[in-house]
Amino acid sequence: MNTTRSQQITGPQTEIADTDIIFECPHCAKSMAIDRRGGGLMISCPDCGTRIRVPEPEPLELAPESTVNELIASTDPHVRNLAQSLDHSREKVQQLMARLEEARKRRGALEKLRISDAGRLGKISEEIAVIQSSIDRIAGLLQDAMADHADDGSEW
């Protein structure tokens, strides 16, 4: 095909783009391509010099909706799985935080009791040690859970 891209509007560029208007000179049938912005302009045929009005461009083709939906469908399960596992982790962390808060309150209550009943000091101290270790364990689990998501940019 002997198509020449018009240089009257686009300058030295000679590549024919997908969006170019392709048309023929009505006088000599010379095939030409012009940038779509040139639609409706008057130009001179490069071969015969006839003044030609450039036809208006076809509307630009957009990706069919079905293609976009297929793309979403293929991406969505992976995204959904990630979101679910993140939600699960958040739930777990919230549960652990609730337990931690509960354990702290219990420790506080026992410490008050210790002050008022010195006779039971030994037993209460043991109980406090058990609660403290469980707080430490929960705090450790929380740190692990947060470290798992520390590098994925999530907000907690």
Binding site for Zn ion (CB under 5 A): 25, 27-28, 30, 45, 47-48, 50
Nearer to Zn ion, 20 or 135 (CB): 20
Nearer to Zn ion, 28 or 129 (CB): 28
Strand order in the sheet with 31-34: 3-5, 31-34, 21-24
Least CB distance to Zn ion at residue 46 (A): 8
Least CB distance to Zn ion at residue 37 (A): 22
Burial code (b: 16+ CB inside 10 Å, e: under 16) for 43-61 equals bebeeeeeebebeebeeee
Could you give the CA distance from residue 82 to residue 79 in angstroms, rounded to a whole number?
A: 5
Check if the beta carbon of residue 8 is closer than 8 Å to that of residue 35.
no
Least CB distance to Zn ion at residue 19 (A): 23
Nearer to Zn ion, 23 or 96 (CB): 23
| Of 64, 42, 37, residue with least CA distance to 53 | 42
Paired sense of beta strands 42-44 and 51-53, if any: antiparallel
Least CB distance to Zn ion at residue 59 (A): 27
Nearer to Zn ion, 25 or 135 (CB): 25
Least CB distance to Zn ion at residue 22 (A): 15
Nearer to Zn ion, 27 or 123 (CB): 27
Helix, strand or coil, per DSSP, at residue 34: strand
